[in-house]
Chains A and B, each alone.
Chain A
């Protein structure tokens, strides 16, 4: 367990990666249907188009490397191996959800799989990842903390604060800037003085580079190297992944701002299709094996959705459970008073 996985995946790993990407795609397509049917509330941010960035990253890490993400994080949880049932149930706000219905789509966490959560305040999760890296530094273990955030988040001051502390203290962290080129409706050129984001980390003495985020193998190779730097050389690293999201910012965004031709250009580089071609070309899977895998994934998604729909709601008398790890009363509405 002391070294990062090698950059080049085995055929079996490649099959697993394609399956994970397919699961994310199909799961999110189903989630979007459930949202349209009114069974999912709140915000629902889809990462469709970003599967290579997610799976390439997760597959390059050790399962115990702490991972944090934004609100666009179903894929990270799925790639880490969280039960799709528990994710879909969380999206539907059910008691069986991975966070007991407290978090919803934006706030998945799977502590057991070192997935330390999705966060809704843009940029605000990055210092948490720095703290997870600090803990490894403090204890002298060899885990690497990885934090994925958007290019929009990179404009938040706190992200620069974290670059500085990571560089200053040589913390084992990989900053992963998922540049999907838009923060809601704002393209990079209207939000950033310089269109490349990776040089920002370079300014803090962090090794940093940019990679094609639509190519799962390129992502995996880059994150492997970044994780190796952090794990073995105890140096932070930063990778900018250039990618594209195929859907609007969230389900409530009709996506009218982005140019149709631009969308088509990026859809022509669909990370799943591209990677399927690689597997076919190398003879690792044939068309029927891919079709069979897709059918299995669809079954998993069906099962997760049925499970979620059939799951009980969260009992209202548990409303105030978990506000505190050490509570002082059991008032179901929550209360600052000792004995209300």
Chain B
């Protein structure tokens, strides 16, 4: 037997995490639209209905507010629901349950009941799904105290973070990326849990820190490759969770490179990039040689036409340009 970690897709890694945790803990159950008989809109839960039965893999009506709230109530009763919302776009109809109930119940009632649940949902643009099906809503969820917000970029993180999420006693918003389900990579074993609040350096470098999460990690790494060809070495850091946020790892890097660019597929106003940049200004102002760059989706509803959509989503070239802009602004010493 080889000790080399298994290679699998992000989709398979998620499925493995669900299976392992369901086998380990009977209080874990899955609920969502078309996750059973249909194997899930993105096939993450393929075969699980047959394995675990209809009480633990529950096909719901199209009723996101209702079944998200049901999950919260079940969590209050001590179960560990993993609710799948087909895509993050449909979480908007469940937002009252997430914001008014899930995030508040532990605090508002003085800590009497925790809400140990996971809400999994994929988001992101890139498949010409146009305005209503292309959201990246990390910022909305991260805005809310009481939630935890997880944004895996690799199969290893998808598995390790989902296992941690299921065992966590708080409501966890687990944001997958539609563009990453087929991405392959190594994953850890049964006992490989990745703690929340630990950023990871995806590529070391000395000239500029690029902070990116989820699919944007891969966009940032492509940009880093291009920049390396021009003699610019960027350090790519993936926060992996926004609540909690490992500012220390980000700030340590920025203090070394003196420059930073934050890449985020969401919109620019009050977005993730804006929020991370604000933390970095507070933590690293004296070390910065240039204003922090932000790369976001264009400030428009996502258009359908392929060329417009591609123009709206952050591309490696946008990251390259943002990094070079921070370099050009270098204050001479």
| Contact of A337 with B97 in the complex, beta carbons under 8 Å | no
Distance of A333 from chain B, by nearest CB (Å):
10
Distance of B239 from chain A, by nearest CB (Å):
10
How extensive is the interface on chain A, given as a class?
35 or more
Complex Cα distance, B55 from A325, in Å, reads: 27
Residue interface mask A314-335, B partner, CB < 8 A = 1: 0000000111111011000010
Complex Cα distance, B243 from A329, in Å, reads: 11
Contacts of B107 in A (CB 8 A): 102, 322-323
Our pick among A102, A130, A164, A336 for the contact of B108 (Cβ within 8 Å) is: A102
Our pick among A100, A117, A133, A337 for the contact of B105 (Cβ within 8 Å) is: A117
| Contact of B96 with A338 in the complex, beta carbons under 8 Å | no
**CB interface residues, B 100-155, toward A, < 8 Å:** 100-101, 105-116, 142, 145-146, 148
Our pick among B55, B73, B75, B168 for the contact of A130 (Cβ within 8 Å) is: B73
Complex Cα distance, B111 from A338, in Å, reads: 21
Complex Cα distance, B110 from A100, in Å, reads: 5
Give the most central of B71, B97, B107, B246: most A CB within 10 Å: B107
Q: Is A66 an interface residue (CB 8 A)?
A: yes
Distance of B144 from chain A, by nearest CB (Å):
10
Q: Which residue of chain B has its CB nearest to the CB of A334?
A: B145
| Contact of A138 with B248 in the complex, beta carbons under 8 Å | no
Complex Cα distance, B245 from A334, in Å, reads: 13
Contacts of A340 in B (CB 8 A): 247
| Contact of B78 with A135 in the complex, beta carbons under 8 Å | yes
Number of B interface residues in the complex (CB < 8 A): 54
Q: Which residue of chain A has its CB nearest to the CB of B103?
A: A323
| Contact of A124 with B197 in the complex, beta carbons under 8 Å | no
Given A322-B111, A334-B145, A338-B245, A134 and B169 touching (CB < 8 A)? no
Given A109-B112, A326-B168, A164 and B63 touching (CB < 8 A)? yes
**CB interface residues, A 159-175, toward B, < 8 Å:** 161-162, 164-165, 168
Q: Is B237 an interface residue (CB 8 A)?
A: no
Q: Is B196 an interface residue (CB 8 A)?
A: yes
Complex Cα distance, B148 from A59, in Å, reads: 39
Distance of A130 from chain B, by nearest CB (Å):
5
Q: Is A98 an interface residue (CB 8 A)?
A: yes
Given A131-B74, A138-B29, A103 and B146 touching (CB < 8 A)? no
Complex Cα distance, B147 from A324, in Å, reads: 8
Contacts of B193 in A (CB 8 A): none
**CB interface residues, A 291-325, toward B, < 8 Å:** 321-325
Distance of A146 from chain B, by nearest CB (Å):
12
| Contact of A121 with B100 in the complex, beta carbons under 8 Å | yes
Q: Is B6 an interface residue (CB 8 A)?
A: no
Q: Which residue numbers of B lie inside 8 Å of A, CB to CB?
A: 29, 55, 60-61, 63, 65-79, 81, 96-97, 100-101, 105-116, 142, 145-146, 148, 168-170, 196-197, 242-248, 279
Q: Which residue numbers of A lie inside 8 Å of B, CB to CB?
A: 66, 97-103, 107, 109-111, 116-117, 119-121, 124-138, 145, 157-158, 161-162, 164-165, 168, 321-326, 328-329, 334, 336-340
Q: Would you mind naming 24 contact pairs between A and B with Cβ atoms under 8 Å apart?
A: A98-B110, A109-B112, A111-B112, A116-B73, A124-B101, A127-B65, A127-B67, A128-B72, A130-B66, A131-B69, A131-B75, A136-B77, A138-B29, A145-B73, A161-B61, A161-B67, A165-B63, A324-B106, A325-B116, A325-B170, A328-B244, A336-B245, A337-B247, A339-B248
Q: Which A-B residue pairs are the 7 nearest by beta carbons?
A: A131-B73, A127-B69, A161-B66, A135-B77, A99-B110, A100-B110, A325-B114
Known interface pairs A102-B109, A161-B66; 20 further A-B residue pairs with C-beta atoms within 8 A, sorted by A's residue number: A99-B109, A99-B110, A100-B110, A103-B109, A111-B113, A121-B96, A121-B100, A127-B67, A127-B68, A127-B69, A127-B70, A128-B73, A130-B66, A131-B75, A138-B55, A321-B111, A322-B106, A326-B170, A334-B145, A338-B248
